Amino acid sequence: MAQVSLRGISKIYDGGVVAVDNVNLGVENNEFLVLLGPSGCGKSTTLRMIAGLEFPTKGQIYIGDRLVNNVPAKDRNSAMVFQNYALYPHMVVYDNMAFALRLRSYSKEDIDKRVKDAAQILGISHLLKRKPRELSGGERQRVAVGRAIVRKPMVFLFDEPLSNLDAKMRVQMRTEIHKLHLKIQTTMIYVTHDQTEAMTLGDRIAIMKDGKVLQLDTPLGVYDRPVNKFVAGFIGSPPMNFMEGTVVPKNNSLYFDEGNFKVKILEDMYGKLERYKNKKVIFGMRPENIFDKLFASYATPENTVNVLCDVVETMGSENYLYLSTGKHIFVAVVEASNKPSVGSMVEIVLDMKKIHFFDPSTEETIV
């Protein structure tokens, strides 16, 4: 059990690539922290520096209250689970799990107990005599996790551990990792580019881009209060819709006007939008906050717009409507029974409490 703290961490690889740029991050004791971001944003490099597999160009890394910058990986009391499992192909599962303990000269009895306890937690007791090639992808991943558990590390590090599994197995292993965290109550840091994994697993999520942490918050925090357009668009599926338009004052009220799409803004947003009057803004609305007028009980002329139904995607439990203003196309997620015909006009209603505005030049959140 340990806190992990990154203070002003940067990593510049040979050749000048700035992979991580002045990252400050505090991971609480027993917390499940997810590093989330697109490929190449510096997640793995950050994780590998915590593990001791890379060394920072600048800054300090603490595990507990120990500065570990110069501590070799094997002495950091952390264990890493890799995307490709990294199992020894010629060893049976038992020996794969026992390997690191034997290296550290644990007694035979202690090794046996740790391997069997871990195997039980992970439901792989019946696989201990098999070689990795005799296991499915999900089973191999469990062994890789088991190999980390037996060491009872202070910190678990996961580098995209589910990305080699098929979609169904990924969901199953995701819930198992969640249960594992509840069961063994250890600090875990988990790298992924998959926002669903991040939302479902993380106590908090650090969203990274270009080597920087843009926002560190709870899953609901990043969903409800994204700090900028990038975070807003990265969290949520299908992603948030954006359209550019103008904030138009009229009769003591403010309206967002895209040209063919005009809605009244709620009064409690006026303060923050004051300096954008008659100026361009980016309007953001999540697909799940858009409703067909027939299905929305709070429709008024000021939160209702008329748009063209361009495409309907049937998902089974719901439909995705691709709606066109003539200038922008946006997506609405609606009930399965709500299936307008393609080419028809649809009256849609927005939940104006859930609308976001972003500055078009900085892309920072206005409100």
Residues with Cβ < 8 Å from 156, sequence gap 6 or more? Answer: 78, 79, 80, 81, 148, 186, 187, 188, 189
Candidates 36-44, 234-242, 330-338, 357-365: pick the segment binding ligand ADP (CB under 6 A): 36-44
Minimum Å gap between C-beta 37 and ligand ADP is: 6
Minimum Å gap between C-beta 153 and ligand ADP is: 21
Of 245, 305, 252, which Cα lies nearest the Cα of 278? 245
Distance CA 148, CA 36 (A): 22
Minimum Å gap between C-beta 82 and ligand ADP is: 12
Query: Residue 103 burial (CB < 10 Å; 0-12/13-18/19+)?
Result: exposed
Contacts with ligand ADP, 43-72, as mask; x by CB under 6 A: xxx---------------------------
Give the three-class secondary structure for 244: strand
Q: Which is nearer to ligand ADP, 16 or 89 (CB)?
A: 16
Q: Which is nearer to ligand ADP, 36 or 63 (CB)?
A: 36
Q: Which is nearer to ligand ADP, 44 or 186 (CB)?
A: 44
Q: Which of 8, 13, 58, 123 binds ligand ADP (CB under 6 A)?
A: 13
Determine, following the binding rule CB under 6 A, whether residue 39 of this chain makes contact with ligand ADP. yes
Distance CA 46, CA 169 (A): 27
Total site size for ligand ADP, rule CB under 6 A? 12
Determine, following the binding rule CB under 6 A, whether residue 238 of this chain makes contact with ligand ADP. no
The structure tokens listed for 220 are 């609901």
Minimum Å gap between C-beta 258 and ligand ADP is: 34
Q: Which is nearer to ligand ADP, 159 or 217 (CB)?
A: 159
Beta bridge partners of 192: 36
Determine, following the binding rule CB under 6 A, whether residue 37 of this chain makes contact with ligand ADP. yes
Minimum Å gap between C-beta 97 and ligand ADP is: 27
Determine, following the binding rule CB under 6 A, whether residue 42 of this chain makes contact with ligand ADP. yes
Q: Which is nearer to ligand ADP, 39 or 297 (CB)?
A: 39
Determine, following the binding rule CB under 6 A, whether residue 41 of this chain makes contact with ligand ADP. yes
The structure tokens listed for 144 are 């890789």
Of 230, 213, 231, 210, which Cα lies nearest the Cα of 222? 231
The structure tokens listed for 140 are 């191999």
The structure tokens listed for 32 are 């499940």
Q: Which is nearer to ligand ADP, 83 or 260 (CB)?
A: 83
Residue 207 dihedral angles phi and psi, to the nearest 5°: -95, 125
Q: Which of 7, 31, 40, 360 binds ligand ADP (CB under 6 A)?
A: 40
End-to-end CA distance of the chain: 38
Dmax (CA) for the chain in angstroms is 81
Distance CA 80, CA 148 (A): 7
Candidates 32-40, 146-154, 167-175, 344-352: pick the segment binding ligand ADP (CB under 6 A): 32-40
Q: Point out which residues bind ligand ADP (CB under 6 A).
A: 13, 15, 17, 19, 37, 39-45
